[in-house]
Amino acid sequence: MKVNKAEELVLKGREFLEKGDFRAAEKAFAAALKEDNAVPTRNNLALAVFMAGEPRRALEILKPCLDPEKEDTGANPYTFALAARIHCSLGQEDQARRRLQQAVQSFEMGLSDLRRSQGQVPHSFREYTVAIMLAAAELGEHRQVFELYRRWESHHVSWENKLLAAVACFNLGRYRRAANLWSSLAQISGLFSGMQQVAFLVERGVIPPFQMGYKFYSKEKLQAMIKEAAASEEARRQYMQDGFFRMMLLAWLLEGNSPQAFRGMYDLIYYGDEWGEKLGRQVLNDSGFSPALKIAAAEALTARGILREDEPVPMVIDGERRLVKIETTPVLPEPDEELDGMVNRAIKLQGEGKIEEAVEMLLGIFREGKFYPPAMVTLANLLRLKGDLDEALNIMEMLEQLEPDNPFLLFNLSLLMLEKGEVAKARQYLARIDDPEFEKEHAEKLEALEREIERKENAVLLSEMSEMIMRAYEEDERRKIEEKPLPVDAPLSRGLKNMPAHWLEGACIYYGFEPARQRRQREEQLRQFLSRRDNLEKAVGELEEEERELLKYLLQRGGWSRLNAVTRKFGSLEGDGYFWQEREPESLLGFLWSLGLVMVGKATLEGRRVKIATIPLELRQPLREILGI
């Protein structure tokens, strides 16, 4: 009876924790602990107190489980990981690292015991991986976070494992790996797709590098923080220095449909210190950013005194470097009878098929230094009809800054996004229309737009389903290659025979020579190429650090290892597909295999056929010398 009551109280406590009501959670866990003095309940109570801002009291709660005088306190990996986080928050880094080490050792011992006694590892135990990685993250041990991710990859049960690993990779400068991890989380939140894009832009040097924290903000939380920043300069400055907020804001801005995009970019640059200045200059010099964001960058740099007022600003637009003079055009918010007459004439010209003439008439208003929203909305719509979609979008983005809730503008933005093939954004703009009078007056047009969006959504869904089927086929085909016989000491020629013809073609292209027409000739091309020491040195020199680590791992074990040991430490081949001449594999092992430096197959060991990863026999000694082993 007591256990049931304790369980009920623990469940309530966890609900309060999820809602962020830490005091209520503390009361529930404290009551549960009185009913049943269990270590997991004590862990939960300490967590609630810690999250409420009382780390020392949280440590006192954990004390009975951390007593070095006792042989068996019942402490589990979570206990040590939480203690590490608490010590870290108190600035006690040595104690924190000692507790982290205990957490890792406790988890490894637990894994071994569970495999031996039960043959499997329960979900509840595997959850500890997140807590331990988080403890390493809060200590700033980015390399250890990623190493733990790779070591325990087969035991992960939460998307948070990948998130922590992705942040660690980003902070270590491994942007490609971070991007791949964020890409695999896109189904959790659309922001992860944006974060993937940011990582690629940092790798290309378009966005300056920066360090991230490990706390993830939901899209709703991010929007609330942006509103808070808009209302308070102090909050604005604080948030722009937060690495994770900075990342998520950049991801959000790159979505391209945020009415706060101009303000967000301005604040990142204005409050971003030296990093902000670098970002501002990059925005001006990269053609990938919209004119609206370039103007935000120019204004922020001018406000900081980096650019001079009233002087043309050099920036790249449509791939060309130009000097652009930033001028403030007054917005005319009040109705203007003369300008309304011009708008009506433009609409009449449109009806007569004279769209070019209508466009010129409305551009004349803007050239006179007047920004009249009704004229600009009509101009944007005319440009859309002409097919000048990017120009139309530039104008609509400016209008959106002024009137983010204008139903006519949102309707036209939805139409524009549909024409650009961005169906999700078309849906978002349509969903933002909240004007009963407009909806009643334009019910037929709205219904027609809804139907067209739905039709294209179905087409996208069908395409995604086809892609999923194709990926499943690719995975199956690659696994068939993994099943092929391969001796542990196979020479390069033997390993190349197992590789599909198009893998050989892709390897030839990667190494920079024309693939021969016949498969046997391609095998010989690659064998001769990799047999030359200078070619091998160059190939290894172009590998990333993690890829070299995998080669060292195999060489230190005689040149080969069971595949399950390799994938536990360096990640699996899952998701690498099959058509490697079109899309390079993303895993470390798959990439090395695609280059012929490592081979995967099945060998007979102690009478059993098991999968192995092996370095071709004649490459082992040269690689040992090149890698300094």
What is the DSSP annotation of 65-122? GS-TT-S-----HHHHHHHHHHHHHTT-HHHHHHHHHHHHHHHHHHHHHHHHHTSS--
Cβ atoms < 10 Å from Cβ of 182 = 29
Q: How many CA atoms lie within 13 A of 213 on its CB side?
A: 13
- Pick from 5-19, 252-266, 546-560: least confident: 252-266
Length in residues, the chain:
629
CA dist list (Å): 491 to 475, 487, 525, 591: 26, 9, 15, 19
- Domain annotation for the chain: domains and CATH numbers: 2-158 (1.25.40.10), 194-324 (no CATH), 337-456 (1.25.40.10), 483-627 (no CATH)
- Pick from 152-156, 326-330, 462-466, 607-611: least confident: 326-330
Model pLDDT, residue 227: 77
Query: CA–CA separation, 420 vs 176, rounded Å?
Result: 28
- CA max distance for the chain: 93
Query: CA–CA separation, 309 vs 302, rounded Å?
Result: 6
Give bridge partners of residue 394 from the DSSP assignment: none
Q: Residue range 477-487: average pLDDT?
A: 91
Q: Residue range 245-268: average pLDDT?
A: 77
Element (H, E) at 322: strand 320-324
Going by pLDDT thresholds of 50, 70 and 90, the confidence category of residue 2 is: very low
Dump pLDDT digits (tens) for 384-394: 888 888 788 87
**Angle formed at CA 238 by CA 233 and CA 244, multiple of 5 degrees:** 135
320-324 and 560-562 beta bridge pairing: unpaired
Residue type, 356: E
For the cut 70, the answer to whether the pLDDT of residue 383 exceeds it is yes
Encoding tokens for residue 183?
A: 């890409």
For the cut 70, the answer to whether the pLDDT of residue 133 exceeds it is yes
The larger pLDDT score, comparing residue 372 to residue 330, is at 372
The segment with the largest mean pLDDT, out of 91-95, 193-197, 423-427, 435-439, is 91-95
Helix intervals (H) in 387-422: 389-402, 407-419
Residue type, 163: L
Rg (CA), the chain: 30
Mean pLDDT, the chain, rounded, equals: 87
- Pick from 46-55, 98-107, 227-236, 517-526: least confident: 227-236
**Helix, strand, coil share (%) of the chain residues, nearest 5:** 70, 5, 25
Dump pLDDT digits (tens) for 576-603: 888 887 778 888 899 999 999 999 999 9
What SS3 class is residue 314?
strand
Encoding tokens for residue 519?
A: 């498969």
Going by pLDDT thresholds of 50, 70 and 90, the confidence category of residue 71 is: low
Model pLDDT, residue 157: 87
Cβ atoms < 10 Å from Cβ of 68 = 6
Residue in 5, 6, 8, 28 with CA at minimum distance from that of residue 16: 28
Query: CA–CA separation, 36 vs 4, rounded Å?
Result: 10
Q: Within the chain, how many helices (H) and strands (E) appear?
A: 34, 5
Residue 19 burial class via C-beta count within 10 angstroms: exposed 0-12, middle 13-18, buried 19 and up: exposed
The segment with the largest mean pLDDT, out of 247-256, 385-394, 451-460, is 451-460
560-562 and 608-614 beta bridge pairing: antiparallel
Residue type, 197: Q
